[in-house]
Every structure is written in C-alpha cells, then in structure tokens.
Amino acid sequence: MPRRHDPERRQRIIDAAIRVVGSKGIAGLSHRTVAAEADVPLGSTTYHFTTLDELLVAALRQTNEGFAKMVASCGGLEDPRADLAAELAGWIGQWLTGDRTGVELEYELYLAALRRPALRPVAAEWAEGVAELLSPRTDPVTARALVAVVDGICLQVLLTGAPYDEGYAREVLGRVLAGAAAG
C-alpha cells in the first residue's frame, strides 16, 4: 500500500494531544488516545514523537504562545507614559476571561514540568519570553518579578475559582514596579 503524503499530520497530532489533555488531563494522554483523537494510525504518533514527553514538549510549546501573543498584540509596552501595572492587570483580565479552558490547559502543561524534567526548558521559555516583552519598560530582574506575580495571580484565580480582581492585580504589580523604581 503506498504511503499517503500528509504534511499536516504532525500538527494534527499535537492538536489532538492538546485536546486529549484538555479533556482527560495529562494522565489520560497516551500514544493510543492521541492517535484516536487525531484519526491517524498509532504508528504515526510514535513516528513523530518517540516518547510522550516529546509530545508534551510540542504541546506545551504550542500552548505557551497564548499569553505572550496577547501581550504582544495589545501594544502599550512601547509607550513609556502608559501605566505598566494597569496594562498588565488588563491583559491578565483579558486572558482569564477569554477561553478559560485554554488557560487551564496552558497551566496544566506548564506545571507538568514539576514531574517531567523534559518540559522544564519549555516552561522556562514562557517566563523568559514574557519577561523579554516587558524588558523595554523595566530592568530584567523586575521583569522576571512581574512574570512571577502574573503567574501567582493567575494560579490563585484558576485554583480558587474566585473572580479576577483587576484592581488588586494593578495594586500588586504597581508595588513591584514602585519597589524597583525606589531601589
């Protein structure tokens, strides 16, 4: 039987892995569940991703783009007169009120790096990428601190189910920025 040319198969497998993790969690991810979700032969998943960690790295890399893309597309970082704390608080609100399932999935994959060392460099890429976006407005240490605060606020909202409080976020982020300016 001739081999079918399918240049999009790898991407379909990644997309299927994201859907599987979104519906069943990381524990529900296997080559078999992904193959079924992608409607490809089982051998295709193992051909493109020898291990589940390789597949999770690809899925995490793809989902990592969510917040950074939103920050980059919103603008506001170029204007030194813009209130950076207010801008960041607004972006967090947009992110959390958008596709909540996507945000939860992004964090589930991000936190999977705690138990799966292969994911750690990709998880670090997210933090470094957002810090890099913030670096034109502040120093590198403060940019990393802002990323940590954003992570903490998002995790608190996701884990507690509490509504996002933009005023609180703006206040906390403003304190980090004020401390950097005073130092």
CA 50 remoteness from chain centre: 23
Nearest alpha carbon to residue 111 among 2, 3, 25: 25
Instruction: Give me the sign of the Cα torsion angle 8, 61, 135, 159.
Output: positive
CA distances from 23 to 4, 5, 28, 152 (A): 29, 29, 8, 24
Supply the CATH classification number for the domain 64-182. Answer: 1.10.357.10
Question: pLDDT tens track of the chain, all 183 residues?
Answer: 445 667 799 999 999 999 999 899 889 999 999 999 999 999 999 999 999 999 999 988 888 776 667 777 776 677 788 899 999 999 899 888 877 777 888 888 888 888 989 889 988 888 898 898 888 889 999 999 999 999 999 999 999 988 999 999 999 999 999 987 776
| Nearest-angstrom CA–CA distance, 71 and 76 | 9
Whole-model pTM over 0.85: no
Indicate the domain borders of the chain.
9-61, 64-182
Same fold: 9-61 with 64-182: no
H or E element: which one contains 19?
helix 9-24
Query: For domain 9-61, is the CATH number 1.25.40.10?
Result: no
